[in-house]
Chain A
Amino acid sequence: DAGVTQSPTHLIKTRGQQVTLRCSPKSGHDTVSWYQQALGQGPQFIFQYYEEEERQRGNFPDRFSGHQFPNYSSELNVNALLLGDSALYLCASSPWAQETQYFGPGTRLLVL
């Protein structure tokens, strides 16, 4: 089991563009959470998906949206990119209602 995988590893976009990040959870996990980690900060919770629905959401604007597929993989979409969206985006998976989350390597997004 490769664990949680994310793609792409790096991405460069310009302001106003849209981006899609992808995550495949660890085998046997059905819950996916997304976090944003700005430079020098701890990860911040964006939202969580289970059974193809957004179950919880952090303090992020509607420009951030997501999706979960029947195979439990997930996408994070960010519209109208701002410079401040430059960060490492982490995906974490777990079985539903279990506290321990397993993290992927992250996607580093740079917005110019």
Chain B
Amino acid sequence: GAGVSQSPSNKVTEKGKDVELRCDPISGHTALYWYRQRLGQGLEFLIYFQGNSAPDKSGLPSDRFSAERTGESVSTLTIQRTQQEDSAVYLCASSLVPAATNEKLFFGSGTQLSVL
């Protein structure tokens, strides 16, 4: 696609429910990142994929969070048993080459998650 696409753009859920957030990176981009942005705050790193592998999952806030990537393309971030503190914008980014070259990131518009 022309850019990084995220869906849904907005998600309202009840506390305790599970949610899935989807990211379609730019075609051919091998690196994919998830960040969380709480209201008025900076970007918090969650997880990075190189291909379909996640070398570092240490940014995931708790074991309720998981992510996967398939076909070196689409990635899904799943939050189980959502809590109100999970409310935030979840941003996905991709880059063309492995992150070791410190390539610039291309971001999607994010998914605004609201947990009631």
A binds B: no
CB within 8 Å of A: which residues of B? none
